[in-house]
């Protein structure tokens, strides 16, 4: 046996061994999408390669025909598993999402059955015979009509698979085309070789050359699948997850310049990827450049800010995380922009509910105390004026008893809406409880507060409340107290003084304003 013959045998064995190793490696990683079809493809190509070698080594025509039939098991199964691989790959990007490659299994079995029954009809191999070559005795035959059926079947599946992955290559982001291109190269190696040899462009027979390329083809495909994690990362993360996210995702380099943007990010930026690539993000968005330095030092950084896409104010939360190498070097950053407008609106609504009276829309007693105490502290610190008005609807119990509580609520609401309109923006008005209301008047002395109270009384007297039970007229009584009467009082003391003045107004005939005055005898005591 010549050295060249031994080298040829070794080449086929090496190609088959690589296929088996890749198949086993992929099979152990079946949970990885695409690994199982790759394993099956590698196994059937190993079978194809080994049975072709056994065909070459068989001395008799009958032996060569037997191993040729065995060889076509791999030749028929390989295109089907190529298709399975391509479908699995493109399913994650949305292409052929409902197609099941196993539907074609009956077609493959039918083609294989026609080949294996050739001894009965001789429509696949016409006049098979032995032919002596330089290294091996070869099986020679004329291609019958069924050989054309096999050729159409095999190359149709191969072309479809290649086109599927090519389409995905064309629609993928440029950052991921290298990985998909590697996969395409692995797929095309044996089939380009088969086409080239079939056209006579290489001094080799078709079945001599193609099995030798299976090992290299599977190595490239496995490297693309497991090195780049094509199925785990690229199609899912980029084409399904990233592109479908409602949040904007922007990838920056170490100079904070934009390298990639998903569609949501393009909408937020108001420009396409091509328009913004290479630009510093802080020139595109109102984001201080210092934020990126802070994120690099203590990743991640979370901040809120506002934008005006389409002229409408929108609140966003920006989340900046650093991209680091295994050694810890920062090579870039990922910026996520989430629309939090709905959350802000809910928070504002909850805050509004927490600080307001749900019937009148005025502040509630708790929030009034908070704001009024702040004003009191400021007034005491800078020796400014501050006054309080406490008012009560006269004979309100009679309104409820006569007309019902729903009408009473209507009276309270209309009083709050119409009588308090003349107050200043920084005056603090609230429903104090029941039919009582309270107003804190910063920068207001006793005389000015009394005038304000009188205006409120006059408005209430003119107020006519239209109800289902007819028109209702009301009056109010008011008590006024001022910090200038007795400096150093607490808010509760000031409210108590206004309450005493209100009590005096009611005892004096109602529908009037009374001002609290400290009893000189009490002061002396």
From residue 354, alpha-carbon distances to 82, 152, 522 in Å are 63, 74, 40
- For residue 357, the 8-state DSSP code is -
Q: How many residues comprise the chain?
A: 525
The dihedrals phi and psi of 303, each to the nearest 5 degrees, come to: -140, 160
- State the catalytic residue, choosing from 47, 88, 375, 435: 435
- The span from the CA of 415 to the CA of 460, in Å, is 7
CA distances from 384 to 428, 430, 441, 487, 492 (A): 16, 22, 11, 10, 18
> Per residue, what are the HEC states of 369-382?
HHHHHHHHHHHHHH
Query: Peptide bond preceding 300: is omega within 30 degrees of 0, i.e. cis?
Result: yes
CB contact set of 231 (below 8 Å; sequence gap of 6+) = 32, 33, 34, 35, 88, 89, 92, 225
Q: Using CA atoms, how far apart are residues 148 and 419, in angstroms rounded to an integer?
A: 95
Three-class SS of residue 467?
Answer: strand
Angle between helices 177-198 and 214-222 (to 10 degrees): 170
Q: What are 431's strand-pairing partners?
A: 437
Annotated active-site residue 47? The verdict is no
Reduced DSSP (H G I as helix, E B as strand, rest coil) percent helix, strand, coil of the chain, to 5: 60, 20, 25
Contact 461, 475 (CB under 8 A): yes
Q: DSSP alpha helices (H): ranges in 328-395?
A: 341-355, 365-382
Q: Active-site residue numbers?
A: 435
């Amino acid at each position: 046996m010549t050295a060249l013959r031994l080298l040829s045998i070794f080449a086929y064995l090496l190609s088959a061994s690589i296929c088996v190793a890749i198949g086993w490696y992929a099979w152990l990683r079946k949970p990885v999408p695409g690994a199982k079809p790759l394993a099956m493809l590698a196994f059937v190509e190993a079978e194809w390669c080994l049975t072709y070698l056994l065909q070459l080594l068989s001395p008799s025509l009958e032996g060569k025909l037997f191993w040729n039939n065995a060889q076509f098991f791999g030749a028929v199964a390989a295109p089907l598993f190529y298709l399975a691989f391509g479908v699995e790959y493109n399913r994650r990007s949305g292409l052929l999402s409902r197609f099941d490659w196993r539907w074609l299994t009956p077609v493959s079995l039918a083609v294989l059955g026609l080949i294996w029954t050739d001894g009965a009809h001789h429509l696949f191999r016409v006049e098979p015979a032995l032919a002596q070559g330089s290294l091996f005795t070869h099986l020679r035959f004329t291609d019958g009509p069924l050989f054309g059926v096999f050729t159409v079947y095999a190359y149709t599946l191969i072309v479809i698979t290649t086109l599927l992955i090519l389409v995905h290559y064309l629609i993928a982001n440029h950052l991921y085309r290298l990985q998909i291109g590697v996969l395409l190269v692995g797929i095309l190696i044996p089939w380009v070789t088969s086409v080239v040899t079939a056209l006579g462009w290489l001094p080799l027979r078709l079945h001599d050359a193609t099995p030798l390329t299976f090992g290299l083809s599977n190595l490239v495909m496995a490297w693309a699948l497991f090195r780049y994690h094509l199925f785990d990362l690229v199609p899912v993360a980029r084409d399904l997850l990233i592109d479908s996210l409602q949040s904007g995702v922007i990838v920056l380099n170490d100079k904070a310049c934009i390298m990639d943007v998903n569609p949501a990010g393009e909408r937020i930026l108001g420009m396409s990827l091509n328009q913004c690539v290479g630009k510093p993000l802080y020139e595109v968005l109102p984001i201080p450049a210092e934020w990126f330095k802070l994120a690099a030092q203590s990743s991640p950084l979370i901040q809120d800010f506002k934008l005006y896409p389409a002229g409408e104010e929108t609140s966003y939360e920006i989340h900046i995380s650093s991209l680091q190498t295994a050694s810890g070097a920062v090579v870039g950053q990922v910026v996520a922009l989430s629309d939090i407008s709905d959350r802000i609106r809910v928070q504002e609504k909850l805050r509004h509910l927490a600080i307001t009276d749900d019937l009148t829309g005025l502040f509630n007693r708790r929030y009034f105390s908070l704001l009024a105490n702040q004003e009191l502290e400021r007034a005491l610190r800078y020796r400014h004026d501050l006054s309080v008005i406490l008012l009560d609807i006269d004979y309100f119990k009679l309104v409820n008893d006569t007309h019902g509580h729903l009408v009473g609520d209507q009276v309270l609401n209309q009083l709050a809406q119409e009588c308090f309109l003349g107050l200043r923006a920084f005056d603090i008005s609230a429903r104090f409880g029941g039919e009582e209301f309270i107003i804190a008047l910063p920068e207001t002395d006793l005389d000015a507060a009394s005038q304000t109270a009188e205006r409120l009384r006059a408005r209430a007297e003119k107020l006519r409340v239209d109800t289902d039970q007819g028109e209702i007229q009301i009056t109010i009584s008011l008590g006024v107290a001022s910090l200038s009467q007795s400096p150093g009082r607490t808010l509760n003391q000031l409210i108590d003084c206004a309450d005493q003045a209100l009590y005096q107004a009611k005892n004096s005939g109602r529908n009037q304003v009374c001002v609290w005055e400290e009893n000189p005898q009490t002061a002396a005591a």
